[in-house]
Structure 1
Amino acid sequence: MSTTPWTPANIIGGERRTPSGEVLDLVSPVTGEVYGHMGVSTAEDVDAAFAAASAAFPGWRGTTPAKRQLALFRLADALEEHAEEFADLESQDTGKPRATLVADEIDQSVDQLRFFAGAARDLDGRAAAEYAEGFTSYVRREPIGVVAQVTPWNYPLNMAIWKIAPAIAAGNTVVLKPSETTPQTTVRLAEIAAGILPPGVLNVVLGDRATGAALVDHPTPQLVAITGSVRAGMQVAESAARQLKRVHLELGGKAPALVFADAELDAAVPGIVEAAFFNAGQDCTAATRVLVHASRHDELVDRLVAHAAAHARTGTPDDPDAFFGPLNNGDQLARVEGFIKRLPPHARVATGGSRQGDTGFFFPATIVTGVRQDDEIVQQEVFGPVLTVQAFETEAEALALANGVPYALAASVWTTDHARALRFSRDLDFGCVWINAHIPFVSDMPHGGFKHSGYGKDLSVYGFEDYTRLKHVMASLA
């Protein structure tokens, strides 16, 4: 992995511009040491980015879908060509295992760009017809305009693609702020895009929470889209409401995995362990709560602990046996440690539970049993490699426990009873339900939740349509 210092900069109007605010340290989650620096964008930087996006919008809106598609295909090809470079940058920012990053994330980002390139030429609309005597009506699906976007640190490149690709495919222009701890792949993507897209179509501004607030509060964007915490989503929704902006929120999760007495544990155990601890559990769809029939509780706990010990080790990016890397930053490590320290007396840590080593932000795979439904660790998102286990006796109890949290993003059902699987896929109050699996997703299907997990969809044609608006045109035949 390259260790050459590289200072990311804003990309505004297709050009690198140094942010005009204070300079922040980029801290390695592997070592806890500074490996680079990043400037913070001020209100003036944000103004410049939105001015560039506004100037570019009329021309990009007028570009044919075929030309937008071609541009996204070229960007996908360029990302694929630079896959190893992007994996190096992503691993440096996040500490993720380097050996699997291309297959796990870079290739997915390439596929998502290509999906939305295809979607650019496949907008649906109601047929033109005479719905009133003497008039022909038809519907135009148009780009919204300038879009503001904020992405998180858990999947920096993937989350940027989820936001950028549908917005640009639909004919919008973008101002995006990546997380202040993981800026490199987003900036590099924008640098490459500057040679493919017209100036101002894609703009990236670096900064902290104040910079993100400046994006959201700015009068220019007509849509604000973020992936982040519930707290951040509420603040964005409140701010956007004052200017009647549209909002697209992909927020937290607290996904249950329901394991019934008839479940095939040979499939359920490795599936749940992978879904719980992949990316150090820093995934809003991660399996965080196992709900298991009481008759299989002890057996399942023993097997989960054994499988996690054998297959879910944390380690450095160059460790070939590491399944996941460190937590992203010191604040996140403290947050995860806090949940364990505050466990009530009736809870038991079956494995893990304390920081690993004194260098970097490593936390091992942790399984907690004996928890109750109103416990903090059951109700609140930990966003770390922590899995809780609860027992149930009846289907009704299992459903109540699963739905009894504020989040509603993802869930899974593990059973060999087909009718039960269908009932629970209907009754679970989550935006995605897997049956005998947990965590795989595809570009073609929508991703998004209900309740405190937000609203709006990423990926799929539904995610594409979120970046469009509808206009009715009615023409007199007289």
Structure 2
Amino acid sequence: MTINGAPARADSWISVVNPATGRVFAQAPDCSAAQLDQAVAAARQAFTTWRKVPLEERQALVRKAGTRLIENAPELSRLFTQEQGRPVGAAEQEIAGAGLWMHAVAQMAPPIHVSEDSAAQLVETRYVPLGVICAISPWNFPVSLAMWKVAPALVAGNTIVLKPSPFTPLCTLRIGQIFAEILPAGVLNVISGGDALGPLMTAHPGFDKISFTGSSATGKRVMESAAKDLKRVTLELGGNDAAIVMPDVDLDEVAEKIFFGAFFNTSQICVATKRLYVHDSIYDDLRDRLVAIAQRTKVGDGSEQGTVLGPIQNERQYRRVSELLEDARNANLTLLHGGEVPNNGGYFIPLTIVDNPPENARVVQEEAFGPILPMLRFTEIDEVIERVNDSEYGLAGAVWSKDTDKALEIARSIETGTVWINQNLMLRPDTAFGGRKNSGLGVENGLDGLLEYMAPQAVYLARG
């Protein structure tokens, strides 16, 4: 761990499991309540000076940190694969991409709004940092989603205590060591621990804001904890994202894009396609293409050559996805599987397409967060939009059509924070990302995301 710019050892440890084998391969520190207090105190002390560092200097340090992350991507990628499961090449892309993301955020600056600038008075609204940020990041994209929090919080002038998921703590702990060579002591503190640490953090009175990425159920508990002392919160939560495929698409062109929009990272993406609504006239042809892609896509250990998709990241999620798959079997749904997966104790589940299940099936209504994709037929566009929006979630969605005007009309009818047309999984550091309904509260990325880490302050200056 890194607390106040220095290494911090723990008295107890948590086990880190390689999901491709199901076996423990490392230990990570289990932060104590006393060490959490130390981290918060260090961040609080550092905030008194960091907030006064000129914006340009803070931006330069975040940019430098991003560069160091890119430089260390090859070293970190194999560790990433061991703890997260994704193939090494894709792991390196995430780490280097997170560094480039930091570069982009480092170019952002909060605006100053001038309401009046006259002989009588100057009235302006500027944005000031909040203080100490509690940042809790998930296991599916452990590096990039952590940097989504770190970069804007630091540019805004805050200090941070960052906790990675107990399932994927190692890369983030190493990044804390790397960044300690760049950032002033106490500005970024990185701790790790088991399931008890998160609630200790969200209830801690020393934080001014909580930024959390994870499940909707946990997000609600975070919000409840934050309400006790009115901490600000940003919650990026789950989604049961739907895609609509119109009859005019070129199936040869879009089939693989649709497939990986659903199955990339073994479907462990909050914005992955999790419900695929396909027009009846092309349903069979697209289904057959997707099954064929699934059968030739290698699922296995991410450290092995040729692996495209890795395991489910942890045993808890593996059991949940397995139970959902078993429920579909018991309901006599038609399951179309991809190729064989390793049977070695790792958390592997075959890529599975569920052929036109009923709308009320659990596999349709619940977010699997694993490689199970329900395909559903439709004929009328108004009816399918209603089905798409009949969800407790509202994170992202997609429309596939050659008629871009019609696709835009459909997209604007979908009740989600993000909608893609003829693409998917595309996110940008300069564009706001947030969810509706049970998919979250607040915004990450873009100028809106930067301002989530700041508070407006109106200043009135009398001149006469």
Normalising by the smaller structure, the TM-score range is over 0.9
| Pairing partner for 2:116 from 118, 123, 129 | 129
May I ask how many residue pairs the two structures share in their alignment? 463
Residue 156 of structure 2 corresponds to residue 166 of structure 1: no
Structure 1 residues 353 and 247, CA, compared in 2 at 3 Å: closer, same or farther?
farther
Query: Is 1:333 aligned to 2:324, yes or no?
Result: no
Match of 1:69 in 2: 59
Asked whether the 8 Å contact 1:12–1:205 carries over to 2, the reply is yes
Q: Given the alignment of the two structures, is residue 116 of structure 1 paired with residue 102 of structure 2, yes or no? A: no
Rounded to whole Å, the distance in 1 between the matches of 2:220 and 2:55 is 34
**Do the aligned partners of 2:396 and 2:419 also contact (CA within 8 Å) in 1?**
yes
Q: Deviations over 1:342-384 (max 9, x none)?
A: 1253521012599741321111211111312222111111101
Deviates more, 1:415-424 or 1:45-54: 415-424
Counterpart of 2:129 in structure 1 is 143
Any idea what SS the aligned residue of 1:193 has? Answer: helix
Query: Does the 8 Å contact 1:258/1:292 carry over to 2?
Result: yes
CA RMSD of aligned residues (A): 1.6
2:143 aligns to what SS in structure 1? helix
Aligned to 1:446: 432
* Unmatched segments (≥5 aa) in structure 1: 1-9
Structure 2: give runs of 5+ residues left out of the alignment.
none
Whole-angstrom CA distance in 1 between matches of 2:339 and 2:239: 21
Provide the residue aligned with 1:35 in structure 2. Answer: 25
Deviation string for 1:25-53 (max 9, x for gaps)? 11111111111112211211111110000
- 2:138 aligned counterpart, secondary structure: coil
Shift of 1:275: 1.1
2:247 to 261, 268, 278: 261
For residue 209 of structure 1, report the CA deviation from its aligned partner. 2.1
SS of residue matched to 2:196: helix
TM-score normalised per structure 1: 0.94
What is the deviation of 1:267? 2.4
Summarize deviations over 1:432-463 as a string: whole Å, max 9, x none: 11111111222222222111110222222221
Task: Give the counterpart of 1:59 among 24, 49, 59.
Answer: 49
Determine the C-alpha separation between the residues in 2 that align with 1:55 and 1:37: 30
What SS is found at the alignment partner of 2:107?
Answer: helix
How far apart are the structure 2 equivalents of 1:323 and 1:409? 26
Higher deviation after alignment, 300-309 or 232-241: 300-309
- Give the 3-state SS of the residue equivalent to 1:361 in structure 2: coil
Amino acid at match of 1:116: V
Corresponding residue of 1:98: 88
The offset of 1:101, in angstroms, is 2.4
Give the corresponding residue for 2:281: 295
Shift of 1:423: 0.6
3-state SS of paired residue (1:442): coil
Alignment of 1:77-476 (within 5 A): 77-103=67-93, 105-119=94-108, 122-127=109-114, 129-130=116-117, 134-310=120-296, 312-343=297-328, 345-352=331-338, 356-476=342-462
Give the distance between the partners of 2:339 and 2:122, measured in 1 at CA. Answer: 66
Contact 1:313 1:365 in 2 (8 A): no
CA–CA separation in structure 2 for the residues paired with 1:443 and 1:472: 27
Kept in 2, the 8 Å contact 1:24–1:40? The answer is: yes
Percent of residue pairs identical: 35
| 3-state DSSP of counterpart to 2:313 | coil
Contact 1:327-1:333 within 8 A present in 2 as well: yes
Counterpart-to-counterpart distance in 1, 2:38 and 2:349: 41
CA–CA distance in 2 between the matches of 1:90 and 1:459? 24
Displacement of 1:77 in angstroms is: 1.5
C-alpha separation in 1, matches of 2:89 and 2:71? 17
User: CA separation in 2, counterparts of 1:417 and 1:204?
Assistant: 48
Amino acid corresponding to residue 179 of structure 1 in structure 2: S
Deviation at 1:220, TM superposition (A): 1.2
Q: 1:187 to 1:169 in 2, by over 3 A?
A: same
- Normalised by the length of structure 2, the TM-score is 0.97
Q: Is the Cα–Cα contact under 8 Å of residues 153 and 450 in structure 2 kept in the other structure?
A: yes
Distance in 1 separating the partners of 2:453 and 2:196: 25
Alpha-carbon distance in 1 for matches of 2:80, 2:377: 39
In 2: Cα distance, 1:16 partner to 1:221 partner: 22
Q: How many Å separate the matches in 2 of 1:452 and 1:438?
A: 21
Q: State the secondary structure of the residue aligned to 2:114.
A: coil
